[in-house]
Amino acid sequence: MITPGFVAIWFAWLMAGGSPGPATMGIAGTAMNEGRRAGLVFALGICAGSAAWGIAAALGLSAIMLANAWMFEVIRYVGVAYLGWLAIKALRRAMTSDEVAMGNPVTGSFRTIFAKGAAIHLTNPKAILSWGSIYAIVAPNDASLSMLLGYFAMLYAGSLLIFIGYAFLFSSERMVRAYRRARRWFDFAFAGFFGVASYKILTVRLS
């Protein structure tokens, strides 16, 4: 099951997961603003959402949802609204003074932070498309469920490595100091990434 081709695809999966996007930017912002524990909780929420789509794709839910486009429509509009709200929140924070931004940390219990992290992936139809596509690439046509779940375990390990790594990286004192020096630019970048992601989901073609 582990071939040189799969190893290459696995590294490409890592690079795609680590590229700037709603999940990675959300982890970075949470870890820098609320600390390492909150960043880890947020990352675990994102991992939970990713696991849900990965297992669903392995069980064949992707084929069911592709045959019922209205399911994607509901998920898409919920995702657009949520990511749009994140973009507005980051933009408002970027427009405040440094003192106000640093003196008002984001509130919420770890349960709420976890739920928001899970919502990043659960409300993104591209997540299940990504999992379905990667299975189509790495798995043979006669792949059994146990083989697909094996692929899921290896790919998911890569996602854990990326997302949890982001939580640790962006909760370091050095990264926090860098953020404080360029806070507005970080927040403008977060707003831009979330806004672009919201637009991309809104305009995604399902057929």
So where are the chain's domains? 48-203
Q: What is the pLDDT of residue 103?
A: 36
What confidence score (pLDDT) does residue 88 get? 84
**CB 108 within 8 Å of CB 42:** no
106 pLDDT higher than 70? no
Confidence at 139, pLDDT banded by 50, 70, 90: confident
Cα separation, 136 vs 111, in Å, equals 34
